[in-house]
Structure 1
Amino acid sequence: MVEQSDHAPLLDWEEIPQTELAQTKENGSETSPPDLGSFGSTASGIGFSTSAGVPAVVTAVASVNGSPHLDHPGPWDVPSPIHTDPGISLKERVGWEERDQIVSVFVVTFDTRSGNMVEWCLPQDMNLDGVEFKSMASGSHRIANDFIYFRKGSYFGLACFANMPVESELERGARMKSVGILSPSYTLLYRYMHFLENQVRHQLQCPGSYSPLEAFYEDKKAVLPTSGNGLVSVCPTRAWIPAINRCMHPEMKITHPAGCMSQFIRFFGEQIMVLWKFALLRKRILIFSPPPVGVVCYRVYCCCCLANISIPGLGVSVPEFRPFFYINVADIAALATEVSYVACTTEKIFEEKKELYDVYVDNQNVKTHRNSLQPLLRLNGADREKYRKLSEQRQMLLYTQEVDGECTSNEEDLFILFFMEQNNRIFQTLSEVVASNDPTLTADHVRAMGLDPQADRSFLVDLMEVYGIDAMLVIDNPCCP
């Protein structure tokens, strides 16, 4: 456990020197922040090297070349085990660097008369409207502590919440605060989790002592150019931007406690395959859970990982599939304009706002009110075969980690690459069919994608429509599938 420091405030959030990181990588392992276990920081597909200003487009898995794999044994062609250099992590293959870009740091408190309110922030002219509700999830008064990822306009935030009993009638026996930060991307927010946890405890014990937060902001504040519309431009516009596959998010690099992906798989089980289809179709997915909400924010991230594709240029015209993380009633107006997102909430009222979402997830129960999407809720043989293959690969990885203590592969890499390969296989096959002299999609093509020609027919039709793929589907659609 990391002990809170009451002196030299910068020591609570100082990162590991690059020289130490290099040494640990040479020894076959990576150093993680204390008390968070082992990490798997992942940048999916596209790396932005802010130091060199050169984009790196990375295809993490081999594409399906030539004709579809029609000779694969078994009824469906499912992704085979991922063959990558065990000494190179996904993060290292991407080769992506990013500098700190903290645009704001703030303290939110609960006042018994005024409710949630921002009590302090830097810079003082920062527009933080709504942050007081995003940083304290509805229902948090019932728990002792939590952390929350959220989105504020063009920024992403991370806040740590704590609830401390006090002998004060004015505070009604409890003092609740959150300390948070904002950044243009959520990729590096995890670095400051312990600092925020330490600072929220410090704020509860010594209200009004902001010097550590002031020092933090002065050291980490972003110096970013402003575009003509007043929004921060994180990645300057260049000639290569249109060629980037926008389905591959440079932001998709979030570090979490060891076992997050494993917990996600165990929690949803085979239902992951249902979520995968909705994610690939860019549907609006809303996850409900009572507090604490931190672990649910990780489920939002895991859902986004299901839709990764590394085929350059594919899906440029489809909606971006970025996470909103935690939302509340103050986000209703913003969500009304979104055509694709993944978010979580602790407010049950959202279930009644059916115009705001396509898919509603309550515990392990995945449901949709849209009749056209109802067939996607039913698991078929191909779905179960893919889940079986994923489970086998996980067990093999766990066995390898147990036998070989220096194994650098992790479940996050396995999870992301498994679904990326599955998605690549589908779109590579579709691309080959469209480019052929006879753009006709047959049952053999569909099996080569790892799909069921009959049960996945509606999914495939929707997929081609969403991604603008012009091919003829000749698979019979029996009246009684």
Structure 2
Amino acid sequence: MINDNDDDVPLLNDNDDNEQFITEEDSQPNVEAVFVVTFDVKYGNIIEFQMPEKEHMLLSGVEYKAIPSGSHHINQDFVYFRHENKYGLACLARADITNDDDGSALSVIDQSQRGMRIKSVGILTSSIIHIQSYLSLLQTEARIYLSQASANYDGLKRLLIRQEQPISVPASIYDSLFAQFIQQFGASIFPLSRLILLGKRILFYSRSPIGPLCNAVYFTHIINQSVNPLFLITIADLSMLNNEQSYIGCTTERIFKEKTHIYDVFIDCDNQIVFHTNDSILQSIVKITRHDYNRLKKTLTLNSFINIGNHLSRLLNQLSQSNDNKQMTKENFHSIDLHQHYDRLFLNEYIRIHHIPNVTIRNPSSIFFPVSPCCSCCLDFN
């Protein structure tokens, strides 16, 4: 059996590295387009307003990202997405149409709207940094357009023309969003971080609202910035995914689970976090270990996870270039907050994928058991 002291691995301190992805001084994203999308019973999702006009910037397809599949059942949501080489943020508002004609947009003006009204207001920008700073503004705008009988787009026009930027998001806001991410995923955040460090193709699934999973894509991308953040994925993106070697995305369309050729791991987040993969090595790597549960008891920050990736890469490069010992020891594992038994298979896979020469791993003195051992999933690393 493994000594309990082996699980007492200290988390890296945020101060161990000066490399921090998010600071209050980061510049605001430059808004390059604004738009309003609505639902029309005859034509489906349509762009009712955009600036610049479509003659100067094509936004075809944005209407399906701004109102994701399943949004007709919720009252509000937000979504991050990709449009060509730009990032998008859209905030959605939905309300039932009343039976009283009071002159507002929510009264019965058009019976063809199936008893509801949906508006989604968004921006396009070339930078993902601090795009959250527009979230509150766009949520407010969406509620305004939802209740207007005749739309006035002056607020959005001013945002684009005059570049009236919101106040930069303080780092504490990201800490709060990251805390929500931790709460949503619990101990599953550790196998998720292992997958992202391996550069796998990862697809989250949940029914609407999709906003929390967009945040999950955002934070997992920060852990390994070489992984392409696709954010919301729709069935129209299927051919594009065939060419992606490494990505992180989310969807509200469960049919993607059947498309096993376009992902390495499908993570069902609808009711509880469940990892699905056909890869036998990844099936072991995504298991939650006792060490993972112990790590969850400690203080976790975004920069802690960033530092783990930085330290792992640095340590392996040092060992690879060393003239003496090139073997990963128990102390090496502990220095990067990994466990000699539980993370052995992950590290072997990391070394293989990243083509790190010469480094070997010292054999542990005992057998590794997953948290819930059974005859089919116990692994012997001796």
Q: Is the 8 A contact 1:76 1:452 kept in 2?
A: no
SS of the residue aligned with 1:120?
strand
Deviation at 1:161, TM superposition (A): 0.9
Deviating more after overlay: 200-209 vs 361-370? 200-209
Distance 1:75 1:139 in 2: 43
Q: Is the 8 A contact 1:380 1:452 kept in 2?
A: no
Q: Is the 8 A contact 1:288 1:344 kept in 2?
A: yes
Distance 1:74 1:370 in 2: 28
Structure 1 position 263 matched with structure 2 position 180: yes
Q: State the match for 2:76 in structure 1.
A: 145
Structure 1 position 435 matched with structure 2 position 335: no
Distance 1:193 1:463 in 2: 36
CA gap of 1:215–1:359, structure 2 versus 1, over 3 A, is: same
Q: State the match for 2:201 in structure 1.
A: 284
Structure 1 position 347 matched with structure 2 position 256: no
Distance 2:293 2:118 in 1: 45
Deviation at 1:99, TM superposition (A): 4.4
CA gap of 1:106–1:442, structure 2 versus 1, over 3 A, is: closer
Deviation at 1:202, TM superposition (A): 2.6
For residue 51 of structure 2, the aligned residue among 122, 133, 142 is: 122
Q: State the match for 1:78 in structure 2.
A: 10
Structure 1 position 336 matched with structure 2 position 265: no
Deviation at 1:339, TM superposition (A): 1.2
Q: Is the 8 A contact 1:104 1:221 kept in 2?
A: no
Q: Is the 8 A contact 1:439 1:471 kept in 2?
A: no
CA gap of 1:82–1:187, structure 2 versus 1, over 3 A, is: closer
Q: Is the 8 A contact 1:382 1:450 kept in 2?
A: no
CA gap of 1:276–1:197, structure 2 versus 1, over 3 A, is: same
- Deviation string 1:179-226 (CA, Å, 9 cap, x unpaired) is 11100012232222233222222322234322222222211299xxxx
Deviant stretches of 4+, over 6 Å: 252-255
Q: Is the 8 A contact 1:76 1:448 kept in 2?
A: no
- Deviation string 1:243-298 (CA, Å, 9 cap, x unpaired) is xxxxxxxxx99985873322222222221110110010011111111111112211
Q: State the match for 2:298 in structure 1.
A: 392
1:10-159 pair list within 5 angstroms: 74=6, 77-83=9-15, 94=23, 96-124=25-53, 125=55, 126-159=57-90
CA gap of 1:371–1:80, structure 2 versus 1, over 3 A, is: closer
Q: Which amino acid is 1:119 matched to? A: E
Structure 1 position 456 matched with structure 2 position 343: yes
Distance 2:243 2:171 in 1: 26
1:180-259 pair list within 5 angstroms: 180-204=122-146, 205-220=148-163, 259=176
Q: Is the 8 A contact 1:187 1:254 kept in 2?
A: no
Deviation at 1:306, TM superposition (A): 3.4
- Deviation string 1:132-178 (CA, Å, 9 cap, x unpaired) is 00000101011111111111110000111111222231222212121
Q: State the match for 1:426 in structure 2.
A: 312
TM-score by length of 1: 0.64
Distance 1:191 1:305 in 2: 17
Distance 2:189 2:177 in 1: 14
Deviation at 1:474, TM superposition (A): 4.8
Q: State the match for 1:42 in structure 2.
A: none
CA gap of 1:162–1:442, structure 2 versus 1, over 3 A, is: closer
CA gap of 1:378–1:416, structure 2 versus 1, over 3 A, is: same
Distance 2:173 2:239 in 1: 30
Distance 2:87 2:289 in 1: 37
Q: Which amino acid is 1:461 matched to? A: N
For residue 272 of structure 1, the aligned residue among 179, 189, 194 is: 189
Deviation at 1:108, TM superposition (A): 0.9
How many residues of Structure 1 are paired with residues of Structure 2 in the alignment?
343
Distance 2:156 2:12 in 1: 49
- Deviation string 1:363-397 (CA, Å, 9 cap, x unpaired) is 21123222231110223344344x14xx333xxxx
Structure 1 position 480 matched with structure 2 position 380: yes
SS of the residue aligned with 1:163?
strand
CA gap of 1:267–1:208, structure 2 versus 1, over 3 A, is: closer
CA gap of 1:254–1:209, structure 2 versus 1, over 3 A, is: farther
Compare relative contact order (CA 8 Å, sep 6+) and give the higher one, 1 or 2. Answer: 1
Coordinate RMSD, CA, aligned: 3.1
SS of the residue aligned with 1:103?
strand
Distance 2:155 2:255 in 1: 38
Structure 1 position 380 matched with structure 2 position 260: no
| Consecutive unaligned residues in structure 2, runs of 5 or more | 98-107, 368-378
Q: Which amino acid is 1:106 matched to? A: F
Distance 2:170 2:245 in 1: 23
SS of the residue aligned with 1:220?
coil
CA gap of 1:200–1:472, structure 2 versus 1, over 3 A, is: closer
Deviation at 1:335, TM superposition (A): 1.8
Q: Which amino acid is 1:151 matched to? A: R
TM-score by length of 2: 0.80
Deviation at 1:123, TM superposition (A): 0.9
Q: Which amino acid is 2:301 matched to? A: F
